[in-house]
Amino acid sequence: MAEGEETRLIAWSSELRNVHQRLREALNIAQEALESGESNDTATRDLLLYCRGFCTALTRHHEGEDRELFPAIAAAYPQLRETLEYLERDHAMIAHLVNRLETVIATASPSEVAQHLDGIAAIMESHFAYEERKLLTVLETLELDTDPRTVLGPL
């Protein structure tokens, strides 16, 4: 394997870690906007923007994994199919929570929105930790020739 090839292969594990960190940061921004306690139209618009931006980024990340990354891993490492199915179930559960947040965000009280964000944060963190524990080593050797934004989302 040439040096450039090894660098590209190892990049998938770095890409995943980086996207997870950016999603954590996006969630923190949404939570900080909520915690600012301001109750004016600008603060409400900012909160809606941050929450919807975070929700969109998280959803696209999981859709890309389900569509691009997980099938490539399953083909190269069939012994991980059960792990991938578990991660896909997590994605479905997180999608349900994100949809619920998007439904209530404009009408719920700040404390209700905070509860939704906290729930998503807890499950998201558990999911990311499990995913990284199970897949980072595999991603260091995975051959997948596509744009990381297509595979891991726009962040």
Looking at per-residue confidence, does 10 or 122 come out higher?
A: 122
Place of tokens 């792990």: 83
Q: What is the pLDDT of residues 38-91, one digit of tens each?
A: 555 566 677 778 888 899 999 999 999 999 999 999 999 999 999 999 999 999
* Pairwise CA distance, residues 100 & 118, whole Å: 13
Looking at per-residue confidence, does 25 or 2 come out higher?
A: 25
Place of tokens 């915690």: 35
* Pairwise CA distance, residues 13 & 41, whole Å: 41
* Pairwise CA distance, residues 9 & 18, whole Å: 15
Q: What is the pLDDT of residues 93-142, one digit of tens each?
A: 999 999 998 888 878 877 888 899 999 999 999 999 999 999 999 998 88
Q: How many CB atoms lie within 10 A of CB 26?
A: 19
Instruction: Give me the amino acid identity at 9.
Output: L
Task: Write down the pLDDT at residue 154.
Answer: 80
pTM for the full predicted model: 0.85
Task: Write down the pLDDT at residue 121.
Answer: 94
The closest alpha carbon to 118, from 62, 22, 60, 35, belongs to 35
Task: Write down the pLDDT at residue 15.
Answer: 92
Maximum distance among all Cα pairs of the chain, rounded to whole angstroms: 58
Task: Write down the pLDDT at residue 34.
Answer: 79
Q: 91-96: long-range contacts at Cβ-Cβ below 8 A with a sequence spacing of 24 or more?
A: 91/62, 91/65, 91/66, 93/123, 94/58, 94/62, 94/120, 94/123, 94/124, 94/127, 95/59, 95/62
